[in-house]
Amino acid sequence: SALLELDEVRKIYTTGSVEVAALAGVDLQVHEGEYVAVIGPSGSGKSTLMNIVGCLDVPTDGTYRLAGEDVSTLDEARLADVRNRLIGFVFQQFNLLPSLSAWRNVELPLVYAGVSRDERRARAVAALERVGLGDRAEHRPSELSGGQQQRVAVARALVTDPAMVLADEPTGNLDSRSTADVLALFDELSAMGRTIVLITHEHEVAERAHRRIVVRDGRVVEGNGGPGNSADS
Ligand code: ADP
Ligand code: ADP
């Protein structure tokens, strides 16, 4: 069965008496090991979809099942627990703490997970090695290039061994060389079987994924469904 499955997901924002359907009935399945890109024009609902897929918010209507669990109606505390257990986040703005070294940034999700100090350090260093930054563990973010900072963020996303890596415009702040580095890293993670959901408005970035999901006016208009029906036309 699918790792994540959205069924008729709607998200309505109400401002005064005006209702906006940011998501107007989204059906979506992503299977374990898939690498999918979500693309669509500005205002189409990508961020809203990312927030729901990432368990940062819940739908107004419809169901979202993640790893077999219905997460559509969880309260904030339970949602936070699901996020910490199942999802590794990569953001456009890296979101590293400037005063902490690379490995201290990477170990943070393990602090929240209650992992012992020695194991945290070992796993953080191993995650940095996996992204090619084993020799930068003691560097602070300001001592690293943008591409290296984003790779630290990828290491932080991987350190809990999440069911899915969810990346929101991960190359949006990178030059073309660092973009190539980060995309090569995603290719490697994908080749090792990691499930990746990548939100982007850059077509060259989306091209690297195995499947493209096109969102328009709050609906998935292309690329829905599992690997079996991923025809892109
Ligand atoms: P995208 O990420 O593709 O640019 P969004 O998910 O941010 O799209 O927005 C989809 C639609 O929902 C837009 O019309 C946007 O104005 C509206 N929207 C998003 N967030 C809010 C909010 N918090 N309150 C009201 N309207 C919102
Ligand atoms: P963008 O740069 O694409 O606008 P952001 O990085 O601002 O995206 O964040 C996208 C969503 O994720 C927002 O709803 C934001 O509140 C949430 N978010 C940002 N940083 C974190 C974080 N470190 N942990 C959890 N949620 C976050």
Give the single-character DSSP code of 139. Answer: -
Give the side-chain half-sphere CA count within 13 A for 75.
Answer: 1
Residue 229: what pLDDT?
A: 45
Ligand nearest to the CA of 173: 2
Residue 225: what pLDDT?
A: 63
Whole-model pTM: value is: 0.86
Residue 168 CA, closest ligand 2 atom number: 3
Residue 112: what pLDDT?
A: 87
Task: Tell the residue nearest (CA) to atom 25 of ligand 2.
Answer: 56
Question: What amino acid is encoded at 107 in this protein?
Answer: E
Residue 207: what pLDDT?
A: 94
Residue 91 CA, closest ligand 2 atom number: 6
CA 186 to chain centre: 11
Q: Which residues are within 8 A (CB) of 77 and not within 5 positions of it... i.e. 6 or more apart?
A: none
Q: Which two three-digit tokens encode residue 41?
A: 């024009």
Ligand nearest to the CA of 40: 1
Query: Is the Cβ atom of 14 under 6 angstroms away from ligand 1?
Result: no
Task: Tell the residue nearest (CA) to atom 9 of ligand 2.
Answer: 91
Contact (Cβ atoms closer than 8 angstroms) between residue 38 and residue 219: no
| Strands in 51-134 per DSSP E | 61-66, 69-70, 87-91
Task: Tell the residue nearest (CA) to atom 25 of ligand 1.
Answer: 13
Distance CA 191, CA 223 (A): 21
Cα 42 to ligand 1 centroid, rounded to whole Å:
9
Residue 228: what pLDDT?
A: 45
Of 228, 227, 229, whose CA–CA distance to 36 is shortest? Answer: 227
Distance CA 72, CA 124 (A): 32
Burial class (CB in 10 A: 0-12, 13-18, 19+), 114: exposed
- Note down pLDDT in tens along the chain; length 233 residues: 799 999 999 999 999 999 999 999 999 999 999 999 999 999 999 999 999 999 999 999 999 999 999 999 999 999 999 999 999 999 999 999 999 999 999 999 999 889 999 999 999 999 999 999 999 999 999 999 999 999 999 999 999 999 999 999 999 999 999 999 999 999 999 999 999 999 998 999 999 999 999 999 999 998 886 444 444 43
Cβ of 232: how many Cβ atoms within 10 Å? Answer: 9
ipTM of model: 0.67
